[in-house]
Structure 1
Amino acid sequence: MLNNFEKARKSKRIRLVDIAELIGVKYQTVSEKINGKSSFKLDEVLLISKTYFPEYKIEYLFKDDEQEEL
């Protein structure tokens, strides 16, 4: 799960539907990507970061907290 992303999104009161509309997918698809069932594409990551979270590093926002560190 993308916990950092979720914390930032909720603190800014950005709805999942807003992100879905921005990247052109369904609300459910965004939820699945956040929960680790699928992944955000690079162009989606860049657009979301630029639009809603320019103050955060991409590595911080999109760090999968369930993946093991190498």
Structure 2
Amino acid sequence: MLNNLNNVRKEKNVSLVDIADLLNVRYQTVADKINGKSSFKFTEALKIQEKFFPEYEIKFLFTPIDYKQPA
């Protein structure tokens, strides 16, 4: 599971539908990718990071563990 992405998404009130709309995929596809059932393509991850979370490193958001962003 992409815990960091999910936590930041909730903090910033970015819905799964917002991400799905950006990527032109279904809501369930995004939910499956966040939950680890499948993976985001690099281009998808980059779009999400640039649009919604530019202040975070892509590695922080898309590492499936609780990776800590360097200060």
Q: How well do the aligned residues superpose, as a CA RMSD in angstroms? A: 1.1
SS in 2 for 1:65: coil
Q: State the identity as a percent.
A: 56
Aligned length: 66
Q: Which residue of 2 aligns with 1:63?
A: 63
TM-score (norm 1): 0.91
Q: Which residue of 2 aligns with 1:23?
A: 23
Residues 20-59 of structure 1: CA deviation (Å, up to 9, x unaligned) = 0001100000000000000000110010000000000000
Question: Counterpart amino acid of 1:11?
Answer: E
In the alignment, structure 1 segments of 5+ residues that lack a partner are none
Question: Counterpart amino acid of 1:49?
Answer: Q
In the alignment, structure 2 segments of 5+ residues that lack a partner are 67-71
Where do 4+ consecutive residues of structure 1 move more than 4 Å?
Answer: none
Question: Counterpart amino acid of 1:48?
Answer: I
Distance 1:50 1:3 in 2: 18
